[in-house]
């Protein structure tokens, strides 16, 4: 397994729309393993393939304290959503930035597992937030783009300053 490079906002590649996965093979499993290792090493709870400059519809999520309950969503689609909740989000592609975003409280998601088998789950709470956040990445959207233009510009300035100092 290998650690992958995570793109940082405002990198234009984060706005690339991911394509559906069509080959479910050992290469896909190896990529999923690398994504999981990268997410765990970065202390994240979710990672979309777009964030590591691979533009395929693959998401990994693990909300467990022990980091031993990896969930993989390939070609995910939200088929139903209800309610509304505001939650403070962060992102591995926007390090050190946290802000409140309003999302659906509950979602129904259809996806495929690494073997290509279809499944459907209903999610609420943090899992629902995380799924919506990661699907946004697959659609070329970063959570800070829900914020005002002023906040987005402040975030870009702060990230540029951090980059210069590192």
- What pairs with residue 85 in β-bridges? 103
How distant is the alpha carbon of residue 57 from its chain centre? 10
C-alpha 22 chain-centroid distance: 20
Q: Is 117 a catalytic residue?
A: no
Cβ atoms of 99 and 11 within 8 Å: the answer is no
How many CB atoms within 10 Å of residue 24?
Answer: 15
Question: Among the options 65, 66, 134, 145, which is catalytic?
Answer: 134
- Pair 119, 75: CB distance under 8 Å: no
Annotated active-site positions, please?
134
């Amino acid at each position: 397994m290998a650690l992958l490079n995570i793109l940082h906002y405002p990198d234009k590649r984060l706005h690339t729309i991911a394509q559906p996965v069509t080959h479910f093979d050992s290469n896909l499993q190896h990529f999923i393993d690398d994504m999981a290792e990268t997410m765990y090493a970065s202390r994240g709870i979710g990672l979309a393939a777009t964030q590591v400059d691979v533009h395929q519809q693959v998401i990994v999520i693990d909300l467990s304290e022990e980091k031993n309950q990896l969930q993989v969503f390939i070609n995910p689609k939200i088929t139903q959503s209800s309610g509304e909740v505001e939650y403070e989000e962060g992102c591995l592609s926007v390090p050190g930035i946290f802000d409140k975003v309003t999302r659906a409280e509950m979602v129904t998601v259809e996806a495929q597992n690494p073997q290509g088998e279809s499944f459907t789950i209903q999610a609420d709470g943090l899992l629902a937030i995380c799924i919506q956040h990661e699907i946004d990445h697959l659609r070329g959207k970063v959570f800070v783009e829900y914020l005002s233009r002023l906040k987005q510009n402040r975030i870009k300035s702060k990230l540029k300053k951090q980059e210069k100092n590192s």
